[in-house]
DNA sequence: TTATAGAATTTTTTT
DNA sequence: AATTCTATAA
């Protein structure tokens, strides 16, 4: 055993060692929460490089989130120094984007393709539907989510299976088809395409796949329980069964992305897919005190269909969990802030090792306010808020057009931003003409006089606009860094200028955001320059002639690389925040750990989310199982202190709701909270007049679940109401034709007759008539 | 064409 | 509650 080897195996337990040392063939590491899996992955990579002398560029390590990828990279830099530069460590999506860019020509794209986000996607769907005259048929959003599902399942439009009588399915397929055509015409892809197009390219052109197989001899996947079928298909292509060196690490109890197509069966069936795979279980938890671990176990054990395992720990029992009962969400925020300050003062826990979790983003606002009032420093860890601001998205749209003028979605976004007198009618005429000619909008704009029915002012304005885009495009061709492109774009488009001229507080903040955007580009350029220097100064190993060992993103032009970072990475890593409490959703919390964790909104309807609550057997459904796993993830983030908080009433989405305590709380034995049975909070009783103050054990008669009710004449749709006569404030009297959904937002389609015709309205707004 | 007001609609979680 | 859509006036 040489020095490297012993250093790398230092303080690993026997199964961890086994996982690091395994060589030759597939390996499944089942790693419970806090069992040191990141350590295992990084040590293993280092071991391959240092002891087995595997070239770093032969190793591909993928994760799901940017945060995880970055963290893994950092640790590998610590272990391997500059050798770590040649490793490919990234998320599925950015690895796929890099490969797809190199192979773009094979799939009908050019290297400068742009990546559409869900807003762009929705616009494309809407336009495709309008073009095909299918507007009334289905909600664009529903169609889009069906399309995404298909993509997650690795199915192109032609692979979609539709039952003969399934009209909606046929419709989805039709729109999916048109949607794909539009994306290709715009030289654009969506998130799903990044993976799907690559998988189908590899299917069609084995020789292209072969290049990557020859290169990547070692593939590692973190959070494998969250892979969806496309991702798994890609893995199987790159590291084919039965004998490839594929290492997958995951925990079926932490699978929380089913809604994105993730399939827990991928991990459960891995040994069948890769017969002979070695299986290692990591069951010792090093993170949480035992009270926390026990509570987490009591929650997760309610799930059937899980690999049987129980984490153990030789850590002390530690403090009990703490239950926080609050009157409403404001008090919850205030109490959280108070406890945080107390912990910092008396518990000697740093702000930076505390976190507040919530189920839905909408909860963050009040929590922020509470922390701000109490002067608790915090950072909101929200995926990509900065790049989601309207003005920043406008700026990105211009940048994308600079790189890829064919991108119709981007062009439509900014054609009249800032206002340049090109209105809806003109735009409609231009798009109609573009559709009939099968040309991109940019192309049509180069000869606007050909568009029928345009007046001369419109033609002139379009020509000016085209001139602007053209000169920006030309500028981008010659530029060598992102910042100068952004700078040029901001100047030429007068985006900042117009905002400043407006003079309102709001427009000033927006202008400020655009300056910050320029700052982000400058920072990007600096990082890139530094990386280039590091790569150049590095001695290159012998590379066999038939293998392409270049970094995957080797010759992506800077502006394009910057745009890719915006699309795929967001600004999550902007400020991790030294000395600040972290605020995030439970999903964002996966993979992290903190000394003290506050889990808020433990109420049925909030967490578990109301959508998991409905259905036949809400306690057994897959959705509820996923909520439960989410709860498990939340609990197991905590090292020493876990605070669980709920509010008796909370206004969420504009309505006041009285939610019963979360069912997950009932699963935790009261002793773990340091309380006895009789102090367990009861579900609150119904309240007729909301603002009245009351305590938890007030009792006033029969329990009515008011959580969903709203004052109205038809507050819910129940039974068959078709044919019923109804009156609408605006549309008058009509008859119900069809219903959609139940509860407060149930919709019905009503035939109003006369000029009004069919309308879909919320049942709440109708009166029997 | 633009600005504005009022109405409708929306909301889980993220790459 | 906040955002997005639609109708109407300017």
Predicted pLDDT of residue A615 = 67
Q: Which residues contact A389 (CB under 8 A, 6 or more apart)?
A: A510, A513
Q: Which residues contact A643 (CB under 8 A, 6 or more apart)?
A: A321, A322, A324, A336, A339, A596, A597, A598, A599
Q: Which residues contact A557 (CB under 8 A, 6 or more apart)?
A: A112, A403
Q: Is A34 annotated to bind ligand?
A: yes
Question: Which nucleotide is the nearest neighbour of A627, by CA and C1'?
Answer: B13
Q: What are phi and psi of A11, to 5 degrees?
A: 40, 40
pLDDT tens track for A59-104: 999 998 888 888 899 999 999 998 898 999 999 999 999 999 999 9
Q: Which of A659, A697, A703 is nearest to A679 (CA)?
A: A697
∠ CA A286-A289-A293, nearest 5°, is 85
Give, to the nearest 10 degrees, the angle between helix A92-102 and helix A229-238.
Answer: 60
Predicted pLDDT of residue A538 = 67
pLDDT band at A745 (very low <50, low <70, confident <90, very high): very low
Beta carbons of A53 and A4 less than 8 angstroms apart: no
Distance A483 CA to C3 C1' (A): 32
The reply to whether A141 Cβ lies less than 7 angstroms from strand C is: no
Task: Assess whether A38 carries a catalytic annotation.
Answer: yes
Question: Which one from A5, A17, A18, A38 is the annotated catalytic residue?
Answer: A38
Q: Which residues contact A110 (CB under 8 A, 6 or more apart)?
A: A104, A187, A404
pLDDT band at A337 (very low <50, low <70, confident <90, very high): very high
Task: Assess whether A223 carries a catalytic annotation.
Answer: yes
Distance CA A600, CA A240 (A): 43
Task: Assess whether A225 carries a catalytic annotation.
Answer: no
Predicted pLDDT of residue A82 = 87
Does the pLDDT value for residue A686 go beyond 60?
A: no
Distance CA A381, CA A589 (A): 9
Distance CA A601, CA A358 (A): 7
Average pLDDT, chain A: 85
Distance A29 CA to C1 C1' (A): 45
- What is the DSSP annotation of A353-376? GEEEEESSGGGHHHHHHHHHHTT-
∠ CA A763-A768-A769, nearest 5°, is 130
Give, to the nearest 10 degrees, the angle between helix A390-403 and helix A456-478.
Answer: 70
Nucleotides of C under 7 A from a protein CB: 1-2, 4
Question: Which one from A73, A528, A590, A637 is the annotated catalytic residue?
Answer: A637
Distance CA A60, CA A28 (A): 16
Distance CA A72, CA A60 (A): 12
Q: Which two structure tokens, joined as six digits, stand for A114?
A: 């742009």
Predicted pLDDT of residue A720 = 46
Predicted pLDDT of residue A547 = 80
Q: Secondary structure of chain A: what % helix, strand, coil (to 5)?
A: 50, 15, 35
Q: Which of A47, A44, A81 is nearest to A61 (CA)?
A: A44
Measured CA to CA in angstroms, residue A235 lies from A60, A155, A229 at distances of 11, 16, 10
pLDDT tens track for A147-190: 999 999 999 999 998 888 888 888 899 999 999 999 999 999 99
Distance CA A603, CA A83 (A): 49
Does the pLDDT value for residue A616 go beyond 90?
A: no
What sign has the CA pseudo-torsion A254, A258, A264, A266?
Answer: negative
Give the mean model confidence (pLDDT) for residues A124-151: 86
CB burial of residue A11 (10 Å; 0-12, 13-18, 19+): exposed
Q: Which residues contact A357 (CB under 8 A, 6 or more apart)?
A: A584, A585, A586, A589, A597, A598, A599, A600, A634, A637
pTM comes to 0.85
Nucleotides of B under 7 A from a protein CB: 1-3, 7-15
Task: Assess whether A560 carries a catalytic annotation.
Answer: no
pLDDT band at A417 (very low <50, low <70, confident <90, very high): confident
The reply to whether A653 Cβ lies less than 7 angstroms from strand C is: yes
- Which residues share a beta bridge with A249? A29
Task: Assess whether A637 carries a catalytic annotation.
Answer: yes
Predicted pLDDT of residue A310 = 80
CB burial of residue A628 (10 Å; 0-12, 13-18, 19+): buried
Does the pLDDT value for residue A486 go beyond 80?
A: yes
The reply to whether A365 Cβ lies less than 7 angstroms from strand C is: yes
Q: Is A421 annotated to bind ligand?
A: no
- Which residues share a beta bridge with A739? A748
What letter would DSSP give residue A661?
B
Does the pLDDT value for residue A688 go beyond 60?
A: no
Does the pLDDT value for residue A609 go beyond 80?
A: yes
Q: Which two structure tokens, joined as six digits, stand for A198?
A: 């690559």
Predicted pLDDT of residue A505 = 78
Distance CA A77, CA A42 (A): 10
Predicted pLDDT of residue A716 = 37
Distance A674 CA to B15 C1' (A): 41
The reply to whether A702 Cβ lies less than 7 angstroms from strand C is: no
SS3 A569: coil
First to last CA, chain A: 87
- Which residues share a beta bridge with A312? A284
Q: Which of residues 380-399 of A touch strand C (CB under 7 A)?
A: 390
Beta carbons of A250 and A225 less than 8 angstroms apart: yes
Give the mean model confidence (pLDDT) for residues A21-30: 94
Distance A386 CA to C9 C1' (A): 36
Distance CA A116, CA A113 (A): 10
Question: Which nucleotide is the nearest neighbour of A97, by CA and C1'?
Answer: B15
Distance CA A569, CA A549 (A): 24
Predicted pLDDT of residue A383 = 60
Distance A102 CA to B10 C1' (A): 40
Predicted pLDDT of residue A622 = 87
∠ CA A59-A221-A53, nearest 5°, is 25
Beta carbons of A710 and A690 less than 8 angstroms apart: no
Predicted pLDDT of residue A231 = 96
**Number of C-beta neighbours around residue A437 at 10 A:** 12
Q: What are phi and psi of A585, to 5 degrees?
A: -75, 165
- What is the DSSP annotation of A371-392? HHHTT--EEE--TTHHHHSHHH
Q: Which two structure tokens, joined as six digits, stand for A320?
A: 């009990």
The reply to whether A654 Cβ lies less than 7 angstroms from strand C is: yes
pLDDT tens track for A214-230: 999 999 999 999 999 99
pLDDT tens track for A359-369: 999 999 999 99
Q: Is A35 annotated to bind ligand?
A: yes
Beta carbons of A295 and A642 less than 8 angstroms apart: yes
CB burial of residue A503 (10 Å; 0-12, 13-18, 19+): exposed
Distance A330 CA to C1 C1' (A): 15
Beta carbons of A413 and A393 less than 8 angstroms apart: yes
Give the mean model confidence (pLDDT) for residues A739-750: 46
Distance A600 CA to B7 C1' (A): 34
Question: Which nucleotide is the nearest neighbour of A731, by CA and C1'?
Answer: B7
Give the mean model confidence (pLDDT) for residues A639-667: 92
Distance from the Cα of residue A344 to its chain's centroid: 32
Question: Which one from A16, A37, A173, A417 is the annotated catalytic residue?
Answer: A37
């Amino acid at each position: 055993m040489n020095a490297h080897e012993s250093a790398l195996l230092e303080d690993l337990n026997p199964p961890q060692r086994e996982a690091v040392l395994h060589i030759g063939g597939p390996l499944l590491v089942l790693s419970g929460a806090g069992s040191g899996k990141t350590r295992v992955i990084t040590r293993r990579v280092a071991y391959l490089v240092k002891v087995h002398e595997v070239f770093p560029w032969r190793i591909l390590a993928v994760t799901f989130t940017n945060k995880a990828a970055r963290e893994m990279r950092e640790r590998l830099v610590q272990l391997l120094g500059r050798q770590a530069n040649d490793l490919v460590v990234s998320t599925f999506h950015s690895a796929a984007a890099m490969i797809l860019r190199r192979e773009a020509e094979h799939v009908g794209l050019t290297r400068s393709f742009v990546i559409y986000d869900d807003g762009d996607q929705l616009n494309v769907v809407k336009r495709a539907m309008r073009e095909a005259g299918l507007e009334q048929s289905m909600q664009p959003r529903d169609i889009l989510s069906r399309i995404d599902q298909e993509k997650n399942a690795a199915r192109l439009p032609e692979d979609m299976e539709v039952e003969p009588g399934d009209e909606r399915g046929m419709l989805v397929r039709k729109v999916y088809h048109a949607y794909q055509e539009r994306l290709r015409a715009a030289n654009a892809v969506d998130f799903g395409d990044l993976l799907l197009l690559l998988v189908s390219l590899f299917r069609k052109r084995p020789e292209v796949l072969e290049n990557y197989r020859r290169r990547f001899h070692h593939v590692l996947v973190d959070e494998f329980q969250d892979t969806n079928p496309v991702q798994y298909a890609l893995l199987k292509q790159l590291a084919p069964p039965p004998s490839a060196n594929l290492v997958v690490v995951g925990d079926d109890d932490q699978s929380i992305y089913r809604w994105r197509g993730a399939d827990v069966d991928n991990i459960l069936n891995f040994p069948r897919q890769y017969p002979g795979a070695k299986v290692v279980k990591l069951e010792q938890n090093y993170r949480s005190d035992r009270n926390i671990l026990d509570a987490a176990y009591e929650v997760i054990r309610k799930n059937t269909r899980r690999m049987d395992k129980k984490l153990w720990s030789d850590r002390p029992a530690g403090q009990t969990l703490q239950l926080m009962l609050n009157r409403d969400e404001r008090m919850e925020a205030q109490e959280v802030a108070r406890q945080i300050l107390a912990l910092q003062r008396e518990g000697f826990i740093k702000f930076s090792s505390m976190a507040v979790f919530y189920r839905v983003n909408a909860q963050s606002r009040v929590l922020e306010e509470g922390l701000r009032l109490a002067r608790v420093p915090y950072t909101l860890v929200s995926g990509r808020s900065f790049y989601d601001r309207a003005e920043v998205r406008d700026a990105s749209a211009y940048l994308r057009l600079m790189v890829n003028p064919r991108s119709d979605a981007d062009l439509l976004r900014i054609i009249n931003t800032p206002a340049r007198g090109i209105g809806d009618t003109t735009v409609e005429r231009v798009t109609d003409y573009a559709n009939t000619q099968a040309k991109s909008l940019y192309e049509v704009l180069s000869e606007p006089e050909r568009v029928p029915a345009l007046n001369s002012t419109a033609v002139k304005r379009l020509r000016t606009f085209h001139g602007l885009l053209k000169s920006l495009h030309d500028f981008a061709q010659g530029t060598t860094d992102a910042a100068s492109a952004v700078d040029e774009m901001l100047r030429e488009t007068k985006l900042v200028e117009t905002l400043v001229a407006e003079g309102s507080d709001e427009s000033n903040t927006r202008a400020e955001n655009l300056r910050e955007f320029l700052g982000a580009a400058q920072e990007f350029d600096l990082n890139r320059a530094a990386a280039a220097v590091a790569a150049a100064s590095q001695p290159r190993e012998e590379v066999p002639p038939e293998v392409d060992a270049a970094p995957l993103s080797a010759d992506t032009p800077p502006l394009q690389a910057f745009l890719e970072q915006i699309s795929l990475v967001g600004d999550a890593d902007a400020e991790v925040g030294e000395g600040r409490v972290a605020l995030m959703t439970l999903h964002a919390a996966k993979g992290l750990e903190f000394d003290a964790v506050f889990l808020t909104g433990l109420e049925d309807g909030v967490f578990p989310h109301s959508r998991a609550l409905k259905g036949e057997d809400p306690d057994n459904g897959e959705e509820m199982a996923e909520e439960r796993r989410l709860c498990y993830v939340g609990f197991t983030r905590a090292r020493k202190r876990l605070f669980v908080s709920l509010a008796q009433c909370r206004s969420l989405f504009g309505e006041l709701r009285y939610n019963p305590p979360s069912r997950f709380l009932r699963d935790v034995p009261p002793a773990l909270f340091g309380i006895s049975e009789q102090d367990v909070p009861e579900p609150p009783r119904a309240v007729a007049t909301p603002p009245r103050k009351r305590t938890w054990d007030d009792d006033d008669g029969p329990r009515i679940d008011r959580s969903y009710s709203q004052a109205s004449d038809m507050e819910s749709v129940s039974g068959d109401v078709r044919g019923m006569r109804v009156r609408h404030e605006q549309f008058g009297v009509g008859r119900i034709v069809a219903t959609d959904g139940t509860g407060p937002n149930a919709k019905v389609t009503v035939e109003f007759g006369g000029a009004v015709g069919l309308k879909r309205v919320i049942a709440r707004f109708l009166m029997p008539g």
